Amino acid sequence: MRTFLTGLMRLRRGPWEMLATIIIALGVFMLMQPFVLWAFTYSFITTLVGTVMFIVVSHFPEGE
């Protein structure tokens, strides 16, 4: 967890890609879940943020 947070602070690719992946997965889950309509409503913006974030952070330097 500490390595992950340090990686985020130092703008390293690995942890940021992981974070973006989690956001995309959360967005897809929100889109398809059968429980609450508000999660469906906000699913698109969540997936969009995750996807754009993934594109941006994939240009970050690799961790040492």
Smallest distance from other proteins to CB 55, Å = 7
Smallest distance from other proteins to CB 8, Å = 17
DSSP per-residue string spanning the chain? -HHHHHHHHTT-HHHHHHHHHHHHHHHHHHHH-SS-HHHHHTHHHHHHHHHHHHHHHTTSPPP-
Q: What is the DSSP letter of 38?
A: H
Give the footprint of other proteins on residues 7-46 (CB under 8 A).
17, 20-21, 24-25, 27-28, 31-34, 37, 40-44
> Which residues bind to other proteins, rule: CB under 8 A?
17, 20-21, 24-25, 27-28, 31-34, 37, 40-44, 47-48, 50-51, 54-55
